[in-house]
Structure 1
């Protein structure tokens, strides 16, 4: 259970709602998402489609809906510890530390088992719930990734200073698990030393409040030599201004992805709430009292304080320079007021969570749902300073007229996270699109997985193409997001290899893909995945080209969108690899990972043509044959025993097949999607530290839960939402154009074997809606049955 958080200010407290809540206000910040849509050519109402076995209720009358709306404040339903544990491929890589939505500052505990042991893959965010010791509180990290990076600017409270405390073994200490608590914008724990550590954050400032035992010797260590497991320090710098109780400098770290461009440099400005009684620093040696400046690979400093009141350590952050870090600190935490920052962080989270309100009967459902929304609003990462300055992918400093973001885990997030932002948080999505456009303009190439200030070339495909198409088809103004410029960059790498020595790797074997219609297995690992991703990307580029009036390009890319068929082997009935001479590569074992797939097997990749699911069904022998195969896929998944390894059948712990439960509805079998999406939600998610099915991947799996819980699911890169089975009797989404209500009079888990739906009182011909249908609000009713 989530320990009780303190109450918000009275203005934010409301009694539990039993009637539909009023529309929440949204500020689109210039974005027109949710106001128009592209691609809608005909209404979707009509007779009940095939695959549904119920007649939907028609007319304006509604039965009394069970349950109550989740009581406010909604932050009380968020449990930041969900997904902070797990083992093997079930590690969620979430962290319990505070941040504001999409903030740069993510102060949090860096934990280990006894003796300092911490396996990298289990500590991608620096924390694991089962750990027993704390070895500092670093200011930067990512959420839910499968790669360890950041962990810059670590501070640690300790009692007294001694030479051994220049190393983690000297200051690492056990934590009292019973005292550990977290809520949106706040984290606290008491250490075995008796020090209470509390953390909160603004957008660019991490605040630590350390309360030392009475009569002890309060010291705070700044360690720039050590960080997260598998992350190395490239350089650190300290410059102490004792009169101002400040330290400035930088911490450059090299992690799993940032090592690909030489490491990411984070600048900081640290200020203490009380004067230094003594200070010192070190550089690969013993601490030297009074030494004010150091730079090197093993640098640190200490601050001693007189006994007395708690010490607040506020740390402003920037990718630009230390002066901008100080500017951010002065703008966001000028008085180092911990309580004010905490209150503001809570209020920010309450405002964002309130864009969705749900009625139900289960506190556990409320907790899982609002935690999923919370997790979906942690990444990408704000990277611009309060004056708009940011360091681009060309390593130069630029100025943005709006927030600039980085850390885009696009291979993951394009599927669910960005469609969620487009639907509910269009102002953030608009800024993120503009950020990606700037990245292409600054660095010369549209990135695949940008981290901090560099290209990482992580994962397969050029998934930004789908993100742009998805948003543009759902109403974003092309000019406001720089679509023409972004398209030019995406088109360039879709048509030719990048020059040797480029920081961006481009598409894999793109010249052969164009010539042969697929990426041959001889080109290297993940060849089949690259073909499938490239075809999906080309589908998206065709949509973007059409919007821009590039008709010839649109036709060319639409044809290439069908290249997935070139790796469909009718004999094996799988999407496989293919040689340069045209032979299909045999799949010796469809249950194990093959070198030509990215993080998956043949069974899971069999469904990977999300943009052409009806065409895929035809390749499988038709709709009925495809549905039968899909049904068996999930029935086998239901019998699979979970262990520490990737699942052999349906695997919610990774991306390639997470759309599969909704393929039923794509083929007009609403009941199939209702049943199996509910099964995934109930059996692959939970309310414990192991409550995520695997890495949350920057919020991707949490966004999946959010969509599944309300009974609609996006097909990324289109304006289509497929229907499932809501777990709430009523959901109210406060969209930019009006309130969307999703009503489900029956939501019991056993009542998911029959399904039908109506929109605005009229039966739906197919279990789907278009964005243009819902953008201005309305009522979707889903009737479920046993």
Structure 2
């Protein structure tokens, strides 16, 4: 902590706890509104505590084979409390390329397992207990029950392992290139082809082709006097220098790799340095040389540089006030928001030119509302790189991806949503983000809207699942903004007209979406999305009073507490939960923007109550501190924005304003510094503090922006990104602030 203007501001890097979200949800029993919300998705954050670099290509962590990151104890589940796969924390080694906070995306990586051993090679694949774990941004350490202390750090494209051995006559470091995926049914990824080569003392390299992607690794180690050998099927190949496998199937796979073996003194350390590339072993070697430098050992050098990169990123948001617990959850939320997507410069295996290659966009459905606007604010260069990569994927594969993994497939995840890249592109254009050819981007925005569900939308103005009608109409609205700006009037007019098609998704008799199939939710969860013409949408519900009444029912005002799904809930229990038509409470993505729908009906005080309940009761310190899957940082980004008292309306270049959780915050957005300060702020403990667990919400009484009165409960994104000062006067009772001047709506043009 350091002092500024008589107050204390958190040294945010030191507050990060990578263990938050790694275990089943363990939060205090909620009170009030939060007790009425129902959680359909797995009650576990699905994060891992491994070493990561901000938006980097490589991560590394202890590997047990558990779902879904390879770390931990849990089996695969899609509903309720997760079942344990193992009775203890354990590991068979340390793998690379982990997901972060995802669920059933069926792509789990965990490539290139490294195992320090004092056992015979026959025991490779056995798991040993983990103890004395330590994790911080860019660093992970644990001790195996074998007595080996294991430390890992990573750079953007490298990993460095450091093992401290007990005294032993035959210690070894084993590298298994055959591993991929998880130890669950249908979770394994098998290499299609592979090549491993020993290229001199302490140096080796190899390439494995996983799902059509050639992953290359170049490695060095400082093991003077140790033997270096290749192995196959847990048998040493004495004198062999190369292994080649032209075709591998599940039935023919046998583990293979390389090892280094020798005697150790008590406390002797061995360092293994690994460079990765998707463009061959030579580039993997150059990546290692670039990040590790010419001298060994390199562990402390890489760890220090990665920590500095984390400091640079997370220090772009600073907060003051609040409890230590709340600051810890906030700092960790910011950290989790900056792990994915993985953005690797000049590494695309699918096109030969230079430029960024982004993968682990898992998925846009998870991140487009909250995380991408956060990247646009605090990491605009990387945000631009992500969009450039998405445009290139569209060029190569014909579609903007809803999700994109380390494998071809822009058409995967299409059931979740349509046209979500358009929202990020519209916001980027409004911010005048450099480095993008907007005329060329517009070509792909327009073409993408004619593919998959978009074809039927063009012909009929409505598609099912009905949520895709909302997506596509919004995609046309976003496309119209860019088209108008680059003076393509014909496309702009046509897109604006088609953007009006959102209305076809609603049943005028109920003011809700029409009956349809819904992905992870029901029509109530999707009916309160922040579309571009909220004034007309509220009109469908009978006006402000009718719309607020529907929202009140959805958020459980006056409702009894509900029971959450337990372990292995049956279909009857789940159906009864869905029939509640209730807010999913940040356990799932579809309705995470719904609390701010009140703003458009002149009731920002209701937003304050709902958001306050979520911040207080649904997030906490400790491994069980998340209410559901973190979803590649989408959930954590929600927490960051909500704590700052802002919420981005993706695709509309707009922020909605609410009472913040901290007394003061500074957001370094682009080149500007946006300050959010308050008067009358009450320190509100987070629920897990064990103090006052039901503090009242606070409400905005009045506001000024750069010293001038702000009567509406919204700001343009330009106001935030250019920097300035937002002052909010808070009080314990609702006020009429923001009730008259509503956030803008964008009705269809006349004629």
Compared CA separation, residues 231 and 536, structure 1 to 2 (3 A): farther
Compared CA separation, residues 767 and 431, structure 1 to 2 (3 A): same
Compared CA separation, residues 689 and 396, structure 1 to 2 (3 A): same
Distance 1:481 1:723 in 2: 30
Compared CA separation, residues 358 and 693, structure 1 to 2 (3 A): same
Structure 1 partner of 2:495: 557
Structure 1 partner of 2:712: 766
How far the C-alpha of 1:670 sits from its partner, in A, is 1.8
How far the C-alpha of 1:673 sits from its partner, in A, is 1.3
Normalised to the residue count of structure 1, the TM-score between the two structures is 0.80
Judge conservation of contact 2:348–2:357 (CA < 8 Å) in 1: no
Q: Are 1:447 and 2:401 matched, yes or no?
A: yes
Larger deviation, residues 373-382 vs 610-619: 610-619
Q: Are 1:754 and 2:688 matched, yes or no?
A: no
Aligned counterparts, 1:487-636, within 5 A: 487-495=442-450, 506-508=451-453, 510-520=454-464, 527-577=465-515, 596-635=517-556
Residue among 149, 152, 158 paired with 2:111: 152
Structure 2 partner of 1:376: 337
Q: Are 1:264 and 2:213 matched, yes or no?
A: yes
Distance 1:507 1:130 in 2: 45
Residue among 221, 227, 245 paired with 1:278: 227
Distance 1:712 1:721 in 2: 6
Aligned counterparts, 1:109-258, within 5 A: 109-111=62-64, 119-120=75-76, 131-146=88-103, 147=105, 148-165=107-124, 168-169=125-126, 172-176=127-131, 179-229=132-182, 230-235=187-192, 237-241=194-198, 243-253=200-210
Distance 2:73 2:61 in 1: 18
How far the C-alpha of 1:613 sits from its partner, in A, is 2.4
Structure 1 partner of 2:583: 650
Structure 1 partner of 2:29: none
Distance 1:556 1:268 in 2: 50
Distance 1:205 1:738 in 2: 32
Compared CA separation, residues 225 and 116, structure 1 to 2 (3 A): farther
Judge conservation of contact 1:673–1:725 (CA < 8 Å) in 2: no
Structure 2 partner of 1:331: 290
List per-residue Cα deviations over 1:713-758 (Å, max 9, x = no partner).
0000011111122111111112334321111221445452532322
Compared CA separation, residues 371 and 128, structure 1 to 2 (3 A): farther
Normalised to the residue count of structure 2, the TM-score between the two structures is 0.83
Distance 1:444 1:102 in 2: 25
Compared CA separation, residues 328 and 638, structure 1 to 2 (3 A): farther
Q: Are 1:407 and 2:360 matched, yes or no?
A: yes
How far the C-alpha of 1:214 sits from its partner, in A, is 1.9
Judge conservation of contact 1:668–1:766 (CA < 8 Å) in 2: no
Compared CA separation, residues 242 and 320, structure 1 to 2 (3 A): closer
How far the C-alpha of 1:467 sits from its partner, in A, is 0.8
Distance 2:478 2:603 in 1: 26
Aligned length: 663
Gaps of 5+ in 2: 26-40, 79-83, 246-252, 685-694, 733-751
Distance 1:316 1:99 in 2: 14
Judge conservation of contact 1:536–1:609 (CA < 8 Å) in 2: no
How far the C-alpha of 1:463 sits from its partner, in A, is 1.0
Distance 1:276 1:266 in 2: 30
How far the C-alpha of 1:116 sits from its partner, in A, is 11
Gaps of 5+ in 1: 1-14, 21-66, 254-261, 496-505, 521-526, 578-584, 586-595
Distance 1:210 1:669 in 2: 58
SS for the counterpart of 1:306 is strand
Structure 2 partner of 1:733: 667
Judge conservation of contact 1:281–1:293 (CA < 8 Å) in 2: yes
Q: Are 1:86 and 2:44 matched, yes or no?
A: no
Larger deviation, residues 405-414 vs 181-190: 405-414
SS for the counterpart of 2:310 is helix
SS for the counterpart of 1:239 is strand
Distance 1:277 1:660 in 2: 61
Distance 1:775 1:311 in 2: 47
Structure 2 partner of 1:60: none
How far the C-alpha of 1:75 sits from its partner, in A, is 1.5
Distance 2:354 2:311 in 1: 30
Structure 1 partner of 2:743: none
**What's the RMSD between the two structures over aligned residues?**
2.6
List per-residue Cα deviations over 1:254-273 (Å, max 9, x = no partner).
xxxxxxxx443311112112
Larger deviation, residues 702-711 vs 670-679: 670-679
